[in-house]
Structure 1
Amino acid sequence: MGRKTFTTLGAMTALVFLAVPAAADTKAGVDAWSRGDFAAAVREWQGEALKGDADALYNLGQAFRLGKGVPQNLTKAEDMYGRAAGLGHVQAADNYGLLLFQRGEQARAMPYVSAAAGRGDPRAQYLLGIAHFNGQLIAKDWVRAYALVSLAQQQGVGPATTALKQMDGFIPLDQRQQAAQLAIELRSQADTTRARQLAAADLGATVSVGVPSPVAVTLPRPVPVASAADVDNDGPATAGADYARPAVSAPRPSAVVATVPPAPRPSAVVAPAPRPAPAVTAAAPKQTGPWRVQLGAFGVAANADALWNRLKGRPELAGHPRINVKAGAVTKLQAGGFASQGAARAACDKLAAAGTSCVAASN
């Protein structure tokens, strides 16, 4: 399924075309879309969609969502995503669950959101974390909530930073430390799960994408949703689509509000402006000691590089050398040279207060 679609896989993922499809008309549609002939792309996909081709259904969902090649029709986009998800299309299932959540059908959305979070989708991890924190439609679990929202924050989901600051006022320090370790485990599990499911889809195997069995559900009061302006100054908050119609209500005093994070438009990718290097008057002395802080574990080594480049200028890490620890396919990012466990934990506390979770570890 992953070889003939175009997709946004998460908050920081670019448009991807993969061009070895099983259906020639679906590939022809991708080629037409690539050169900007959206109407021709839609014509190619429509025939394959009628035959039940999941990639063609997903691609039509993207076209209807964006209003390219066809008039924008969000109802049809959702229908296409849902039909593709029913055929085991992973990316369609991720978008379908987020769309359901966005328009207020949280009970129907939650199985899809949970499955997408298990595959590492950062928007789904954010929403599932908020649900676990509030105990809304799912068991209250503050350790898992903090771990999931931390993972979303590390992958660029803006509202996750605000949510973590709110959670810091409720979740005890020992639970936040447990969450840092759990986040490492969840990241590794998600990398494995997504790779396995996409490989299975490419081989034509049936993939479980979180489609729930029909059940009777009594809806609780809606999860409070922050206004669109809290997330995106240029437009509404989105969930796999550039629109939102959330009902705005006052949050309970002890609840963290969930704002569906935006997905990028797949027509363009804008590189962030480089941050200026901080002024340095003297090099920090190199620190030595038997304790380290573990900042994350990554299936893609480049993600470890990106996190270190973002954090290495912080005073908590000044003079502490970067250490990469390989654990199979996972790269653990650590900073070493802390004299004691207390010093390592103190650095983690300050980093957590700034929105980055970590855990103390010995050499």
Structure 2
Amino acid sequence: MRVPCYGLALLCAVPVLADVKDGVDAWSRGDYASAIRQWQPAADKGDPDAQFNLAQAYKLGRGVSQDLGKAEQLYNRAAAQGHLQAADNLGLLMFQRGERSRAMPYIRAASGRGDPRAHYVLGLALFNGDGVEKDWERAYALVNLAQQAGLPQAASALSQMDQYIPLEQRQRGVALAAVIAAETEQARRAQVAAVDLDADSRPPKSTSLRPFSTPPATDSSKPGADYTPGRAPPVASIMDSAPPPPKPKPVVVPAPIAMPKPRFDAPTPVAAASGGPWRVQLGAFGVRANADKLWDRVKARPELAGSRKLAIPTGKVTRLQAGGFASRESAQTACNRLKAGGFDCMAVKD
């Protein structure tokens, strides 16, 4: 139970804040045992940052024996106070040990905040219809975003999805990924702006230094890093509504959480649509070998999934095209995404 401090609330909070920060400093030096000693009293007093940091230590087995059950308890206590990253990790732990129906609200909320791990897990669930209704386009979009964030498992998952999802659905999924990314970024900026507007009404606090990375708004998806938005209302509201404004804070980075292996319960693979009259022209080359080199660079991109390489001699040049698009719209969508990735192109008809 906390002792009321009334007008001295900020002064009463200072020792707890210092304990959490001192613990992070010790963790940064590799002195995990000292970090645990600093965080434990603050966690016992109900500080959610200390509870989260202590959960990380139990999950990773640093300074204490690894205990995923204890880690889950601490994540749960921090999440109940609105600690969003604790809620994200709680959902992933529950998912990994099979409590997928309980985990899914947390996974959806984390995906809505742009967490690439949550994109990956939710994408696989949507692909397999695992506790959710199948939605192959959204599944492809989310795993695509996880791949763009550098999550290594996502690339192999996309390759397997390519064997089952028809080309048209994959192309719509790529377009949807751009929409989801834009919506996530817009929501994040709005949340940060809302926090800034409210900053003068709250006392300063400087202890949410956490052993996980908080990418800045312009680089919010480093490979394997956890997104740490900061304070939020209780977890119950996370399940039912959009998350409240986050407040990014400087942190220390440990290893990322382990991810489940993809499971594919799809029907017999369908042949990629390859007879469409529309193509994406990637360039014209005086040396054929240069066309081959460019194809090697772009052939694995999801925009060209299922398309076929066309090297067409035209006079003294070789035109490089990706063929098999059913409509001008699908070819142009792929081209727009390629342009965003730094490749020049145009939609052409056979």
TM range, smaller chain? 0.5 to 0.7
Q: CA deviation at 1:167?
A: 2.2
**1:345 and 2:314 matched:** no
**Which amino acid is 1:104 matched to?**
G
Identify the match of residue 63 of structure 2 among 66, 69, 72: 69
Q: Which residue of 2 aligns with 1:207?
A: 232
Counterpart in 2 of 1:147?
Answer: 141
Aligned pair 1:90/2:88, yes or no?
no
User: Contact 2:58–2:70 (CA<8 Å) still a contact in 1?
Assistant: yes
Q: In the alignment, is residue 157 of structure 1 matched against residue 151 of structure 2?
A: yes
- 1:213-252 residue pairs with structure 2 within 5 A? 240-241=256-257, 252=265
- Would you say the 8 A contact 1:58–1:81 is kept in 2? yes
Aligned twin of 1:178: 172
- 2:59/2:68 contact within 8 Å kept: yes
Q: Distance in 2 between matches of 1:95 and 1:315?
A: 35
1:143 Cα deviation from its structure 2 partner: 1.2
Normalized per residue, which structure has more helix? 2
- The match for 1:254 is 267
Aligned partner of 2:303 in structure 1 is none
SS at 1:33's partner residue?
A: helix
Q: Which amino acid aligns with 2:173?
A: A
Using the alignment, how far apart are the partners of 1:142 and 1:209 within structure 2? Answer: 32
Shift of 1:201: 7.5
| Letter in structure 1 aligned against 2:117 | R
TM-score where L is the length of structure 1: 0.55
Matching residue within 163, 170, 179 for 1:169: 163
User: Quick check: 54-63 or 338-347, which moved more?
Assistant: 338-347
How far apart, in 2, do the equivalents of 1:196 and 1:43 lie? 37
- Contact 1:111 1:210 (8 Å CA) reproduced: no
Q: TM-score, normalised by structure 2?
A: 0.57
Matched, 1:26 2:14: no
**1:314 to partner: Cα distance:** 1.7
> CA separation of 1:92/1:82 partners in 2, compared to 1, >3 Å: closer, same or farther?
same
Any idea what SS the aligned residue of 1:314 has?
helix
1:55 corresponds to 2:49: yes
Q: CA deviation at 1:160?
A: 1.9
Name the counterpart of 2:317.
Answer: none
Give 1:312 deviation, angstroms: 9.5
Which position in structure 1 is the counterpart of 2:186?
Answer: 192
Residue in 2 that maps onto 1:101: 95
2:122 paired with 1:128 = yes
Distance 2:166 2:259 in 1: 36
Give the 3 Å change call, closer, same or farther, for CA 99–168 of structure 1 in structure 2.
Answer: same
Q: 1:343 to 1:115 in 2, by over 3 A?
A: closer
Aligned residues: 244
Contact 2:168–2:330, Cα closer than 8 Å, also in 1? no
Q: How far apart, in 2, do the equivalents of 1:312 and 1:87 lie?
A: 51
Report which of the two structures shows the higher radius of gyration computed on alpha carbons: 2
Residue type of the alignment partner of 1:164: L
Post-superposition CA distance 1:87-122 (Å, at most 9, x none): 111221111111111111111110111111111111
Which whole-Å CA distance do the structure 1 matches of 2:110 and 2:159 have between them? 24
Distance 1:346 1:174 in 2: 13
How many angstroms apart in 2 are the aligned matches of 1:77 and 1:241? Answer: 12
Report the CA distance between 1:43 and its aligned residue. Answer: 1.2
* Equivalent residue, structure 2, for 1:314: 297
**Structure 2 spans left out of the alignment, 5+ residues:** 1-13, 203-229, 240-254, 270-286, 301-319
CA contact (8 A) 1:134 1:255 kept: no
Structure 2 counterpart of 1:254, which letter? P
Quote the Cα distance in structure 2 between the aligned partners of 1:213 and 1:90: 9
Alpha-carbon deviation of 1:197? 5.1
Unpaired runs of 5+ residues, structure 1, are: 1-19, 215-238, 257-280, 286-310, 318-336
**Percent of aligned positions that are identical:** 48
Alpha-carbon RMSD across the aligned residues, in angstroms, is 4.6
Residues 212-267 of structure 1 show CA distances to partners (whole Å, capped at 9, x for unaligned) of: 799xxxxxxxxxxxxxxxxxxxxxxxx954598x9x9x9645399xxxxxxxxxxx
Once residues 255 and 96 of structure 1 are traced to their aligned partners in structure 2, the CA distance between those partners, rounded to angstroms, is: 35
C-alpha distance after superposition, 1:279-331 (max 9, x if no partner): xx89959xxxxxxxxxxxxxxxxxxxxxxxxx9972669xxxxxxxxxxxxxx
Superposed displacement of residue 134, structure 1: 1.9
Quote the Cα distance in structure 1 between the aligned partners of 2:296 and 2:155. 19
Distance of aligned partners of 1:87 and 1:198 in 2 relative to their CA distance in 1, 3 Å threshold: farther
What is the alpha-carbon distance in structure 1 between the residues aligned to residue 21 and residue 52 of structure 2? 13
Query: Once the two structures are superposed, what CA deviation does each residue of 1:118-143 show, in whole Å capped at 9, x if it has no partner?
Result: 11111110111111122222222111
Task: Quote the Cα distance in structure 2 between the aligned partners of 1:243 and 1:253.
Answer: 21
